[in-house]
Structure 1
């Protein structure tokens, strides 16, 4: 499903497609396909790990805010301890995100500026929910990869060998399908195999190339 093919031309000369979807929807498979077409992929999950590497300014800010316990003996962030803490202290999650979100956004902006492909895909599982705050504002269009809850559960359990309870907890932290889909400029329903997914992505790829050219001409 597509909305009218219009874009905001005031943001950038670069067309940025925000790619999102619930756990097990096939967002990663879609991202991988775009990469095979020569499109640069900016992954918010990867950036979120990069900004808190050992010795990084962001990790030092987290340590200053919460204490030395957030650092393990190897000098890296103790992710398990931090996750457990913010799970039982919701206010701590807000404080943590206030530190990490600006760093993620700035890193994403730097990668966007360095991109050389026809357009760019900015992939973020919580793009709409706001857990990567401000990233949606960097995008001209939002592409949602959608799948039924049964399909999500089946795929996620096979992929990560996670318990159904854990998968459902992750899903509960994400928007429900209807709400997420309402934010979509482009919607791909991914209920079948990879070949069927790729068939739906191909015309979108061509559309994005056309839109990218229009955006470039409008900005010149």
Structure 2
């Protein structure tokens, strides 16, 4: 059971997935908040039942699953609706992440939480021993988004602006990886952090 947990976060298109894969390749268990969020509202779950109770049946698709596009549209310009949705989903995500990290058989565990800065940082996740931020310059984010999603610069900027700022993320960081180089550079950074985290997590 892992009692030492690292929170991993970063802005959109910063390369969080590449970082988590590098940790996984070193045998570290990664609990993913995006997967936990899907599980929290899976068909038959208490989370989905509560969403339907609050927002109505029109947020379900033909198969009885949460219609994510309809839900996003519903809360996009309605701050109160977004807060109500977050109040249903976020506590369940946190509980699932705790459960997965505690069950990890690796020396330490990583909780990958893309919106960690936005949801309250360490105050929302007091069980995290350290927070690792994957950082890239905003211009790099913009270029990656345009290339990855086939969108224009205006939409890329809107997507970046919808998240916490780079400064807000760095303000909660204990550790940082600047992911602006090659995959080999990234793997070297991860290996160095892995060695450090193993030492910190060692009993005694």
TM-score, scaled relative to structure 2: 0.93
For residues 113-128 of structure 1, the aligned pairs below 5 Å read 113-128=102-117
For residues 186-197 of structure 1, the aligned pairs below 5 Å read 186-197=175-186
> Is 2:189 aligned against 1:200?
yes
For residues 43-122 of structure 1, the aligned pairs below 5 Å read 43-122=32-111
Output the CA distance in 2 between the equivalents of 1:146 and 1:65: 37
Structure 1 position 13, deviation (Å): 6.5
Structure 2 residue aligned with 1:38, among 17, 27, 50? 27
* Contact 1:105/1:133 (8 A) holds in 2: no
Question: Where does residue 6 of structure 1 map in the other structure?
Answer: none
Structure 1: where are the runs of 5+ without partners?
1-11
Structure 1 position 72, deviation (Å): 1.2
CA-based RMSD: 1.9
Count of matched residue pairs: 204
Structure 1 position 208, deviation (Å): 0.2
Which SS does the other structure have where 2:126 is aligned? helix
Output the CA distance in 1 between the equivalents of 2:2 and 2:16: 25
Output the CA distance in 2 between the equivalents of 1:132 and 1:80: 27
Which SS does the other structure have where 1:62 is aligned? helix
Structure 1 position 135, deviation (Å): 5.2
Say if 1:204 and 1:147 are closer, same or farther in 2 by CA, change over 3 A: same
Structure 1 position 171, deviation (Å): 1.4
Structure 2 residue aligned with 1:146, among 124, 135, 145? 135
* Contact 1:17/1:141 (8 A) holds in 2: yes
